[in-house]
Structure 1
Amino acid sequence: MDDKLRNKLQDISERHEELGEMLCAPEVVENTARFLAASREHAELRPVAEAFTRFMQAEAGLAEARELLADPDMRELAEDDVTRLQDELTGLESELQRLLLPKDPNDSKNVVLEIRAGTGGEEAALFAADLWRMYSRYAERMGWSMDLMSASEASAGGLREVTGMIRGKNVYANLKFESGVHRVQRVPATESQGRIHTSAATVAIMPEAEEVDVHVSESDIRLDVMRASGAGGQHVNTTDSKVRLTHIPTGIAVECQQEKSQTKNREIAMVLLRSRLLDLEIQKYEAERAAQRKSQVGSGDRSEKVRTYNYPQDRITDHRINLTRHNLGAFMDGDVGDLITALRAYDEAERLRP
């Protein structure tokens, strides 16, 4: 470990210890704002401080084991300890470098999930519905909640477009690499000759943006209200409950008709609009980063084909990291954790590269 990294870790360790003492001080405990701020910082530094403590302990153990190499009676045992501790130190140094990577400020945010059917007609809409169910099942496995915000059904029972909110711990951190074009290869139910068709759907993962994240001036918004259409009960076609908000500077438009109340639909539409504006900034940043490092996971290009679901061969292939796995049935039932873990690990490895 070089001196620069060691000094940085030593400073973090000392700060973690200082914060621990502060949290026991009466003047801090009595000041709610100060106590909460110190608690948050203490919790953020804990993984690094604890890993550095384990590193220092392993380093001290290695020095002792090397001294024992000179003792003929202890040499064989000491050699085993040296090998074990060297491996442990290598692993701990890698872990510390990973822990020091800059955190994505959006990682802890909830997510707006948007799925749109692409090429493939009714089959694409059916695939979009399959993806919606896949993410719903994954959310259940993770203990997250998932709420429908808007949906447009296709005549064959699929979804032309669907938007939902996923709430829980570190949702964006887990799902942010799902954005892009998802392609499916299978025999559609309507295909009489058994031919394999290729269809696609686009997935967008957007961190939920609050007013503190994105300020939207009322003068920049055009509000249109209209009669809701489709399923929805007695209010459909009887009240102007459907809301469309257009952000004039960017041309981004969002709609919502899920609720009977125009006011509630406008609130939901504002959440969507702010999230899309924040997502636009993220895409610009990712595109700039991709220009500097072509092999990273996120490129900011939503037209990029990211994954293929091949039903005849029972396989899923993620094209960004060249990873293929099988058991497509389980995957579509929400068993996607291993692939998401692989994508996150790949991104971390890329960011660790000099």
Structure 2
Amino acid sequence: MLDRLQALADRYEKLSELLCDPDVAGDPKRLREYSKEQSDLQEAYGAYTEYKEVLVQLDDAKAMQGEKLDDEMREMVKMEIEELSGRKDELEELVRVLLLPKDPNDDKNVIVEIRGAAGGDEAALFASDLYRMYTKFADGQGWRVELMDASENDLGGFKEVVFMVSGKGAYSKLKYESGAHRVQRIPVTESGGRIHTSTSTVAVMPEVEDIEIEILDKDIRIDTFCSSGAGGQSVNTTKSAVRVTHVPTGIVATCQDGKSQNDNKAKALQVLRARIYDIHRQEEEAKIAGERKSKVGTGDRSERIRTYNFPQSRVTDHRIGLTLHKLDAVMNGDMVEIINSLTLAEQAELLEKENLALS
């Protein structure tokens, strides 16, 4: 571990030199690449620098124990050793986590798709609740949310809604949301007061640049049609909505919430690119795991990653066995505890795999 940390520190310091080089300063591409790389290394570099300082201080304090000291000074040295030893252990754990392989998509913006699944109108209403939850969470993180496409039912729920979340670390926090979300509550359409179980599915995909996924013009078909829903006097009068079909895969993306046909085309291509990339990524993960894993599942009532129980004000994440009795807060975007717990669980799993590989 120390060898890896020293190599990291050497690279960080080399990058500092490179960023002061006039040739690099005059090359926007290299400047951007080096700045990004150094930024990614900064937290680990800082932790390692502090770790080395703590080791020096700890050695000095232990050396003092061999000297002739009065009782008060001896007690002070003892307390200092205890504090430094505790900090040393904390920093060792921190740098172990910081050295774990990083998901290359973690810093990217995301495209989120939510669909009402099992449960009809109630599933669509729950999909709109999830959209509001993620919007509130994004606001709290200082991120920007941009609606890309939506299909509503008669009750104001979403049969499907697609939106982009832009902000630092958006994918690193929202990637755990992919899967089937189950709700248990009395629907507004239920006259007998019975609790129903419905599901909505969520897919979280990293935004993909043109250079990562190349879509050839000859491989896409573009159709235009009149927008529907809110949008001003041009709705249903001009063909500003765009549907893009990737012919080789049959993947389709639609956008009708932009200000113009060109705007909708650009957004639809963003979604299309993300969907194609997501399929490639799933295939690669399936090869590694030895089996194909679905991104969001079928939406069947029995298949879920999380349950939202309204009568008991309870939310349970089934992947890590976490249950919180503050459903109202969660639905209002207070998702930090859930996401932090999922992050820690993933880190613990990666650490265990690394320890097994080293043993």
Please give the TM-score of this superposition, normalised by the length of structure 1: 0.89
The answer to whether structure 1 residue 68 and structure 2 residue 64 are counterparts is yes
Q: Return closer, same or farther for 1:72/1:185 CA change in 2, 3 Å cut-off.
A: farther
Identify which of 52, 56, 65 aligns with 1:56: 52
Shift of 1:126: 0.9
Aligned equivalents of 1:6 and 1:269: distance in 2? 47
State whether residues 287 and 301 of structure 1, in contact with CA within 8 Å, keep that contact through their aligned partners in structure 2: no
Query: What residue is the counterpart of 2:216 in the other structure?
Result: 217
State whether residues 284 and 300 of structure 1, in contact with CA within 8 Å, keep that contact through their aligned partners in structure 2: no
State whether residues 225 and 239 of structure 2, in contact with CA within 8 Å, keep that contact through their aligned partners in structure 1: yes
Q: Return closer, same or farther for 1:229/1:24 CA change in 2, 3 Å cut-off.
A: closer
Q: Return closer, same or farther for 1:87/1:163 CA change in 2, 3 Å cut-off.
A: same
Q: Which amino acid aligns with 1:60?
A: V
Structure 1 regions of 5+ residues with no counterpart?
293-298
Query: What residue is the counterpart of 2:144 in the other structure?
Result: 145
The answer to whether structure 1 residue 181 and structure 2 residue 180 are counterparts is yes
Shift of 1:14: 2.5
Q: Which amino acid aligns with 2:204?
A: I
State whether residues 203 and 295 of structure 2, in contact with CA within 8 Å, keep that contact through their aligned partners in structure 1: no
Query: RMSD value over aligned CA atoms?
Result: 2.3
The answer to whether structure 1 residue 280 and structure 2 residue 279 are counterparts is yes
Q: Return closer, same or farther for 1:32/1:189 CA change in 2, 3 Å cut-off.
A: closer
Secondary structure of 1:89's aligned partner:
helix
Q: Return closer, same or farther for 1:68/1:231 CA change in 2, 3 Å cut-off.
A: closer
Shift of 1:36: 4.1
**How many matched pairs?**
344
Aligned equivalents of 1:247 and 1:20: distance in 2? 44
Q: Return closer, same or farther for 1:194/1:90 CA change in 2, 3 Å cut-off.
A: same
Aligned equivalents of 1:163 and 1:255: distance in 2? 9
Shift of 1:102: 2.2
Identify which of 34, 37, 44 aligns with 2:40: 44
Aligned equivalents of 2:219 and 2:28: distance in 1? 38
Secondary structure of 2:305's aligned partner:
strand
State whether residues 235 and 260 of structure 1, in contact with CA within 8 Å, keep that contact through their aligned partners in structure 2: no
Shift of 1:32: 4.8
Q: Which amino acid aligns with 1:70?
A: G
Shift of 1:30: 5.0
Aligned pairs for 1:42-191 within 5 A: 42-71=38-67, 73=69, 75-191=74-190
Query: What residue is the counterpart of 1:302 in the other structure?
Result: 296
Moved more, 200-209 or 29-38: 29-38
Q: Return closer, same or farther for 1:31/1:116 CA change in 2, 3 Å cut-off.
A: closer
Instruction: Please list the CA deviations of residues 114-163 of structure 1 after superposition, one character each: whole Å capped at 9, or x if unmatched.
Output: 11001111111111111111111111111111111111111122111111
Aligned equivalents of 2:27 and 2:226: distance in 1? 52
Aligned equivalents of 2:262 and 2:22: distance in 1? 46
Secondary structure of 2:95's aligned partner:
helix
Aligned equivalents of 2:265 and 2:238: distance in 1? 14
Q: Return closer, same or farther for 1:284/1:160 CA change in 2, 3 Å cut-off.
A: same
Structure 2 regions of 5+ residues with no counterpart?
298-302, 354-359
State whether residues 285 and 300 of structure 1, in contact with CA within 8 Å, keep that contact through their aligned partners in structure 2: no
Aligned equivalents of 2:259 and 2:295: distance in 1? 36
Aligned equivalents of 1:260 and 1:38: distance in 2? 37
Identify which of 5, 16, 31 aligns with 1:20: 16
Identify which of 3, 21, 26 aligns with 1:7: 3
Query: What residue is the counterpart of 1:295 in the other structure?
Result: none
State whether residues 242 and 255 of structure 1, in contact with CA within 8 Å, keep that contact through their aligned partners in structure 2: yes
Shift of 1:300: 5.1
Moved more, 105-114 or 78-87: 78-87
